[in-house]
Structure 1
Amino acid sequence: MENLENEIKKLENWKKKDKKLEKNFKFRDFVEAFSFITKIALIAEKMDHHPDIKLSYNSVDIGLTTHDINGISSNDITLARKIDELL
């Protein structure tokens, strides 16, 4: 678990909260935000690891957790990195 904590600290602007990794993303408009979500969906489906996503006009909130262990796993770290690479 200590290694996971170090990896979480390396993530840019991701916050650990209630057994989840969370991050907010802002975009110019709804279409740009929705496009971002679509890209995340394709990555998540390939990984078979699906995030919680909330869209509000140009704001996207992402929550990552591994339900099987009721907490954060290496899959969440990997998905967070892939999401950040989309920007």
Structure 2
Amino acid sequence: MIRLKRNIAVSDTGFVFDPSTGETFTVNETGMRIIHYLREGKDPREIASLIIKEYNIDSLSFEKYFQDFTEMLKQFNMLEYEKEV
């Protein structure tokens, strides 16, 4: 399971800040929803289902967006991985 690290701050406007590194960037509305769902502990399949319904997009478009977005979060070292029991 992937999760956003607990120390990552996200504002209501999409400003993302990692206090341990000082890295900052902004995300769009879809990125904010993904971050919200990651914080809730939802798995990628659940997130895909929710976003596809919320934004009425096709699954292939979302899959590419999600991969790109989570890759960016990985590059900024903002994700943590938990083994499933």
TM range, smaller chain: 0.3 to 0.5
The higher relative CO (CA closer than 8 Å, separation ≥ 6) is in 2
Which has a greater percent of strand?
1
Q: TM-score, normalised by structure 1?
A: 0.38
Instruction: Provide the TM-score with structure 2 as the length reference.
Output: 0.39
